[in-house]
Amino acid sequence: MKNLFEYSLKELQEKLHNKEITISDLVDASYNRINEVEDQVKAFLTLDEENARKQAKELDGKLSAAESLLFGMPIGIKDNIVTKGLRTTCASQFLSNFNDPLYDATVVQKLQEKNTVTIGKLNMDEFAMGSSTENSSYQNTRNPWNLDYVPGGSSGGSAAAVAAEEVFFSLGSDTGGSIRQPAAYCGVVGLKPTYGLVSRFGLVAFASSLDQIGPITRSVEDNAHLLQAIVGHDKMDSTSANVEIPDYSESLKDGVKGLRIGVPKEYLGEGVSEEVKASVKEALKKFEELGATWEEVSLPHSKYGIATYYLLASSEASANLARFDGVRYGVRAENSDNMIDMFKNSRAQGFGEEVKRRIMLGTFALSSGYYDAYYKKAQKVRTLIKQDFEKVFEDYDLIVGPTTPTPAFKIGEETDDPLTMYANDILTIPVNLAGVPGISLPCGLSSNGLPIGLQIIGKHFDEPTIYKAAYAYEQATDHHKKRPQLGGAK
């Protein structure tokens, strides 16, 4: 019998209904694999095995009533998405005591309505601040393709768990590329939806105008099914968009004939490795063979994306993380002489270095005398970046380029150089600033056997066209069929 992780959602549901397998078998497959490789990959912070196995047994008896393709499917949840009764830490010591949240995030509620089985909570950069998952205060997650390398971040645990076949799919969050970049590094499919398409209620906020929850899967089709389950207007989220929701799998197989693709010259310029450029150019040739056309375009203000992003995201983080003070939220420092000392000590002890760095930068940018010079100016540049996308989308259906400038880097290689670390998100950040959707899917391997990601960007709420193009490319190639052989240093 084939490894269960090699089947699609549709195939697994068919097997369930034919009584070839049970939901308990699927949950067993997840935990057996976790027992086999988790000490190497370190993707999970918390497992919920007792509840998962109990739920699987209950669902085995309800199988005939299954309506969703997600029925009974094991899933991993990024640890900044609140889960009722299940520890949620944001990979921070500050929330190490948040063992029993009182509610579920909206996306978790929606998945429960589809009867998915939560396997556990996945590692991440602390409060989603990072590009390698090395900023977790608990452990370093490793890339399943080579354990010496990072899985990307901040959703590194979410991508690594899917790549290592510990779960069938997972949820991540994307503020500046935190779904797409780890998806590229780990050779899986990750979508950052249009801002507002998926509710942020229950997502612990980093930068509220940029954060978006999205799906990470092994295939484009499974990604579309998972997105379908979590989208929709939510009255609990004031930024939730009240738009008509299409069937994302309906036009999946329509092909790309006549599709117009723009390729930003800035996305294949300086800093992008030759291997990545070659893989993207091969992908563009494949799109031509499939009937699409492409031309070089320009997104001139994207070069200001990193500076703009880190000013705006840090400013919003400074405001959002003010609630973590040891009183309202978080672990309280012991032995403080007074309330002010207690605040200071709690934050000093609870937050890691990267979180402190961004809070300080954001507080500075918002402070009197600097607000206009930094924060306000960054908002103006953000508008210019958004207008660049709008201008290109007047003539083109999609924008295509690499997800990251290079494949994954070695653990510890960039931890002492924050600016180099920030540059890993140079190709994903503009998408968040503009609020448009983008997907990453595998398009090749580097000379040292690490995945390379192709990024496809669409118009606001035009996820169907992104999926259509991604699916056509995926079916015409075999990059998504390649699996990591867990190796490298333990």
- Taking only the tens of pLDDT, the chain with its 490 residues reads 579 999 999 999 999 999 999 999 999 999 999 999 999 999 999 999 999 999 999 999 888 766 789 999 999 999 999 999 999 999 999 999 999 999 999 999 999 999 999 999 999 999 999 999 999 999 999 999 999 999 999 999 999 999 999 999 999 999 999 999 999 999 999 999 999 999 999 999 999 999 999 999 999 999 999 999 999 999 999 999 999 999 999 989 999 999 999 999 999 988 999 999 999 999 999 999 999 999 999 999 999 999 999 999 999 999 999 999 888 888 999 888 898 999 999 999 999 999 999 999 999 999 988 999 999 999 999 999 999 999 999 999 999 999 999 999 999 998 777 777 777 899 999 999 999 999 999 999 999 999 999 999 999 999 999 999 999 999 999 999 999 988 444 3
128: left (phi over 0), alpha (psi -120 to 50) or beta: left
Dist CA 259 CA 468 (whole Å): 10
Cβ contacts of residue 477 below 8 Å, gap of 6+?
A: 283, 286, 443
In this prediction, residue 66 carries a pLDDT of 62
- 3-class DSSP assignment, residue 85: coil
Strands 398-402 and 260-264: parallel
As a whole number of angstroms, the distance between CA 231 and CA 65 comes to 23
| Residue 447 bears catalytic tag | no
Query: What type of residue is 214?
Result: G
482 is catalytic: no
Distances (CA, A) of 68 to 5, 107, 115, 189, 201: 18, 15, 8, 21, 23
> From the CB of residue 272, how many other CB atoms can be counted at a distance below 10 Å?
19
Look up residue 309 and give its amino acid: Y
Instruction: Look at the domain 4-235+438-455+462-481 and name its fold.
Output: Amidase signature (AS) enzymes (3.90.1300)
* Active-site residue (options: 170, 178, 279, 315): 178
Phi then psi for residue 140, to 5 deg, are -95, 120
Helices (H) and strands (E) counted in the chain, each on its own, are 15, 11
Rounded (5°) CA angle 249-251-256: 125
132 is catalytic: no
Q: Look at phi and psi of residue 44 and say left if phi exceeds 0, alpha if psi is from -120 to 50, else beta.
A: beta
Structure tokens at 105: 């995030």
Residue 327, CB half-sphere, CA atoms under 13 Å: how many?
11
Predicted confidence at residue 455, as pLDDT, reads 98
Catalytic member of 42, 78, 459, 468: 78
Note the Cα 207 to chain centre separation in Å: 15
Compute the distance between CA of residue 442 and CA of residue 115 in angstroms, rounded to an integer: 29
Catalytic residue among 92, 137, 154, 170, which?
154
Task: Check if the beta carbon of residue 375 is closer than 8 Å to that of residue 240.
Answer: no
